[in-house]
Amino acid sequence: MKPQVYITRRIPQAAVDSIAAACDYAMWDSADLPVPRDQLLAALSGVDGVLTMLTERVDAAFLAAAPRCRVVANMAGGYDNVDLAALNARNVLLTNTPGVLTDTTADLVWALMLAAARRIVEGHNLIVAGRWTTWSPMFMVGQEVSGATLGIVGAGRIGTAVARRASGFAMPIRYYNRRPAPALEEQTGARYCELDELLRTADFIVVLLPLTEETRGMFGAREFALMKPTAVFVNAARGPIVDEDALYNALQQGRPGAAGLDVFTVEPVGAEHPLLSLPNVTAVPHIGSATVATRIRMATTAATNLVAALTGRPVPNPVNPAVLPPT
Ligand code: DGY
């Protein structure tokens, strides 16, 4: 009998085909809307594996509804939607899709850096509203990018890719990480420094950390107060790493000077969110990895992980490999 699989969203056909070749599957048939929780739990009773999005909470209740489940293949690099301790307790493998979204997400970080520094969205809105009256020497002036100091918080794959892109802008790079990252230093000339020093000295502060209990709320009033009034703050990691009320107050007081945000504490963020009322905020809807090619790669990578785990082949991206039987 083939393994039974549930896919929590309509994913690209290439990924579905690779699952169908080895498994019987059911799939929530919407590309845009998450499966409602009750329907998700009801769909899990006989499954051996699940391919999930970061919109699904994979917790004890999820696992209780899926007593046969051996693998959860999350279609994302991050997995803060998953209660890893609950999976470990049940010996369920978790896989993710690191590597395939690195450059795409780094590109988006740069888009936010440039847009926030050069007031791109504000300028667009001004034209659309018919408020462009003339050219003036100090009209819509923003912050210089070339030669500015780039501060990267979190020196993983994406942080390194963001740093690599800085060479064309002749930017000195500082980074903060739990431990020094020699590869990043060698490739980009980045210099390790303590977080407070980075916050005081960087012109661009880019957050690229996973969300953990350690990083939750890591950026609050104290951290924003250390930043330059001209600094541009970018979060393309996870919303809860930032205290949004503190960021709102800080931006209103002009320190940092602007923010570029791809992620929010609650997603989708409502249009009434105070941060969205600020002209110095550039916001996009969690699209760091959102290119056609990358989303296809993420789906096929998740599918490969899922099928490998269910057919006893080596799993490319295990998050908790200790639960795998020895090979
Ligand atoms: C991830 O992969 O963790 C992103 O946030 C979604 O692409």
* pLDDT at residue 327, as a whole number: 61
Query: Within a 10 A sphere around the Cβ of 82, how many other Cβ atoms?
Result: 24
Distance in angstroms (rounded) separating the CA atoms of residues 119 and 282: 8
Q: Rounded to whole angstroms, how far apart are CA atoms 66 and 187?
A: 45
* Distance from Cα 265 to the centre of ligand 1, integer Å: 14
pLDDT recorded at residue 49 = 98
Residue 168 Cα to ligand 1 midpoint, Å, equals 26
Q: From the CB of 289, is ligand 1 less than 6 Å away?
A: yes
Q: Which of 54, 56, 57, 51 is nearest to 71 (CA)?
A: 51
* Mean pLDDT per 10-residue section of the chain, whose length is 327 residues: 97 98 98 98 98 98 98 98 98 97 98 98 98 98 98 97 98 96 95 98 98 97 98 98 98 98 98 98 98 98 98 97 80
* The domains spanning 4-100+292-323 and 102-283 adopt the same CATH topology: yes
Nearest partner of 309 among 92, 31, 65, judged by Cα: 92
Q: Is 299 in the pocket of ligand 1 (CB under 6 A)?
A: no
> Which residue out of 101, 296, 297 has the highest number of ligand 1 atoms within 8 Å of its CB and is therefore the one to mutate?
101
C-alpha distances out from residue 109 to 61, 103, 156, 172, Å: 35, 10, 14, 17
Residues marked as catalytic: 238, 267, 286
Tokens (6 digits) for 243: 């205290």
Nearest C-alpha to atom 3 of ligand 1 is from which residue? 78
Q: How far is the CA of 75 from the centre of ligand 1 (A)?
A: 8
Measure 262 CA to ligand 1 centroid, in angstroms: 11
Rounded to whole angstroms, how far apart are CA atoms 232 and 221? Answer: 15
The label of the residue with tokens 């939750």 reads 216
pLDDT value of position 324: 80
**What's the full length of the chain, in residues?**
327
Task: Decide whether any atom of ligand 1 lies within 6 Å of the 78 Cβ.
Answer: yes
* Domain 4-100+292-323 indexed as CATH 3.40.50.720: yes
Cα 254 from Cα 192, distance rounded (Å) = 27
CA atoms within 13 A on the CB side of 106: 19
Per-state percent for the chain, helix, strand, coil, to nearest 5? 40, 15, 45
Q: Compute CA distances 110 → 103, 125, 168, 174, 258, whole Å.
A: 11, 20, 12, 16, 14
Report the phi/psi class of residue 91: left, alpha or beta, with left for phi > 0 and alpha for psi in -120 to 50. Answer: left
C-beta of 156 in contact with ligand 1 (< 6 A): no
Measured by CA distance, the residue closest to atom 4 of ligand 1 is 76
Residue 120, pLDDT score: 98
pLDDT at position 305, please? Answer: 98
User: In sequence order, which residues have a C-beta less than 8 Å from that of residue 152 and are 6 or more positions away?
Assistant: 159, 162, 163, 173, 174, 175, 176, 190, 206, 208
| Whether the CB of 104 sits within 6 Å of ligand 1 | no
**3-state class of 7 per DSSP?**
strand
| Domain segments of the chain as ranges | 4-100+292-323, 102-283
Which residue, judged by its Cα, is nearest atom 6 of ligand 1? 76
CA of 300 to the centre of ligand 1 (A): 15
- In single-letter form, the type of residue at position 174 comes to R
CATH topology of domain 102-283: Rossmann fold (3.40.50)
3-class secondary structure, 220: coil
The amino acid sitting at 222 is: R
Reading the block at residue 19, the tokens are: 């699952």
Atom 7 (ligand 1) nearest CA:
289
Q: What's the gap in Å between 307 CA and the centre of ligand 1?
A: 21
82 lines ligand 1 (CB under 6 A): no
Contact between residue 243 and residue 219 where contact means Cβ atoms under 8 Å apart: yes
pLDDT for 326 equals 65
